[in-house]
Amino acid sequence: MLDNWIIQLFHEGKCANAYQVFGAHTCQENGKSGVRFTVYAPHAKKVQVIGDFNQWSGEGYDMERYQEGGIWTLFIEGIETYALYKYRILTQDHRYIEKSDPYAFFSELRPKTASKVFDMEGYTWHDGLWMKRRTRNFERKMNIYEMHLGSWKMKKEGTKDVDGEYYSYEEMIDQIIPYVKENGYTHIELMPLLEHPFDGSWGYQVTGFYSATSRYGHPKQLMHLVDACHKAGIGVIMDFVPAHFVKDSHGLYEFDGGYVYEYPDIARRYTEWDSVYFDLGREEVRSFMISSAAFWLHYYHFDGIRFDAISNLIYWKGNKNLGVNDGAIEFMKRCNTILHDLYPECMLIAEDSSDYPQVTKASSVGGLGFDYKWDLGWMNDTLKYMKLDPIYRQYEHQLMTFSMAYFYGENFILPFSHDEVVHGKKTIIDKIWGNYDQKLAQLKTLYIYMYAHPGKKLNFMGNELGEYKEWDESKSLGWNLLEYPVHESFYRFRKALNTIYHSYPCLYQYDYYYDGFKWTIVDNKEQSVFAIIRHAPKGHDLLFIMNFTGNVHHGYGVPVLDEGTYTEILNSDRDTYTGSHFINEKPLVTSKGELVIYVDIAPFSGMIFDVKKKRKSKGI
């Protein structure tokens, strides 16, 4: 029967394994094999299990009310894996409604909406060494490749009237893993794989918070994909949607005729995305969401969870003027504390556009308890700067420097995500001022600046191709761009930059330490030239120089921190990257007692120098 301890924690809002009680579980009871169905429907007058095993008739399949508190349960003999089912609920106003299982582990392929019985146990994992060694990566390299699994590559592209044909989870193993390894990414971040009815929501309007989307196969095939990534040394982060859910009639919305998951107050119920906010002040909803997050970490071995739209949890409807949502704040603190206790090596990442303090500080000291936060301020400021005519960049110089005024207040990730390449926003390259060649030159320099800046990195798929076409979830990426020399050379440039990232600990080991970063040119507004030193105790320092105007500089004096030899290891203007080849071929050496090197700088160029410091004399 049911576990009373789990049920107690469920009602207290502290449960991380509610999925062990709720949902459809294959089991044996009284010597008979079958499935036990359990659902929380506190406002229901009656609940029945209907499915293909009883011709979708609830007669004789009434669920029993379990104690008090709105839980209903029923064991049905003879049901097997993949059986289709729903709950037929009699509401307080005497209506019958049919709902998918909120805790279903698998679902029918859209547009069908039934839940499927699926046994989550029994997958044999081969990632023991990875699991033993993984950490939250604060002092390790983390270069994330954000993906929409379906549209990275497609078997057949969709049209206005016909859905596309996707590769399965398992088919993606031989496609994506070699690509990610070759291009120097350490992790992939998968846009939501929680079951959702509409492809165009990209997975952000969810019906199945425990159900891996059937678009790409069944749950154990997803386990196989994660397992294969781990064996190849690639971490996997999953996008998670804790703020809201879709209004489709078979989902959580008015689940039992009453308000089970959403706010009773209509003024707080609906989102700007035409979906419904979770009432995260309610204990059973907290347990539902905490258990959902834990479910993905437990069964799928994900290495981290990226929590979407956190500002819409911090403030009512994401609006600071409406005040702090104390119930959701408590949920986040509790959720993160529980998940860290259960999975201390997993990363919890906040996508938060607000300036709410201490998002990445422990809840024990008043923080929200996340490990990382996306630096959306850096992203917005940087792209705003790049849109400007270079003549006017001198008047907005602070857009490139302000981020370091607040950077050490949180553990930031620098994102150029899917949000920046859709809905008429233009792609990264197309946001930049200038003609085709000028955009490409500045794009390379922009990425050198991104890697000079402390913080883990995240790029959406296609950014490495220099895509001009905005992302479309029904189309594959523009792989044909690699047939054009300028895009192929940019692709190679990005690979070279990622190789440097892997090779120099100063680019990741001291991300969140003051000693890891130093401006050496920060206030040259007129020329829009910047210089940065990155440092770590192990390995060489790196010097980055960026020129964000079309001016050329011969022998430009760049202050440095140490006497020594400065060898150029990457220049965006090199001819192999379709530049003019105005580079620094010979190592640059500081003069005795003078902490400066004299650098040739091409228009709109960026460069990286390996720093070999002069050994100090030991004296006599």
Residues taking part in catalysis: 308, 351
- CA dist 353 and 417 (Å) reads 13
Q: What is the Cα Rg of the chain in Å? A: 27
Q: Which helix (H) or strand (E) holds 26?
A: strand 23-29
Tell me the one-letter amino acid at 620: I
- Per DSSP, the chain holds a count of helices (H) and strands (E) of 15, 31
CB distance 100 to 49 below 8 Å:
no
**Residue whose structure tokens are 């909803």:** 285
- CA dist 56 and 50 (Å) reads 5
Structure tokens at 577: 């990257």
Close Cβ partners of 578 (under 8 Å, ≥ 6 residues apart): 440, 485, 486, 489, 490
CB distance 367 to 329 below 8 Å:
no
- CA dist 53 and 78 (Å) reads 9
Tell me the one-letter amino acid at 162: V
The rounded Cα 601 to chain-centroid distance in angstroms is: 36
Structure tokens at 276: 């419904």
Q: Which helix (H) or strand (E) holds 116?
A: strand 115-116
- CA dist 366 and 275 (Å) reads 30
b/e per residue 349-365 (b: at least 16 CB within 10 A): bbbbbbebeebbbbbee
- Other Cβ atoms within 10 Å of 206 Cβ, number: 26
Close Cβ partners of 39 (under 8 Å, ≥ 6 residues apart): 22, 47, 63, 71, 72, 73, 87, 101, 102, 103
DSSP assignment of 292-324 equals: HHHHHHHHH--SEEEEP-THHHHBGGG-GGG-B
Phi, psi of 326 (to 5 degrees): -65, -35
CB distance 13 to 7 below 8 Å:
no
The rounded Cα 582 to chain-centroid distance in angstroms is: 38
DSSP assignment of 480-529 equals: GGGGSHHHHHHHHHHHHHHHHHHH-GGGTTTTTSGGGEEEEEEEETTTTE
Among 587, 594, 583, 534, smallest CA distance to 559 is for: 594
Q: Where are the alpha helices (DSSP H) in 167-282?
A: 173-183, 219-231, 266-269
Structure tokens at 63: 């669920």
Among 3, 33, 41, smallest CA distance to 20 is for: 3
Q: Which helix (H) or strand (E) holds 235?
A: strand 235-240
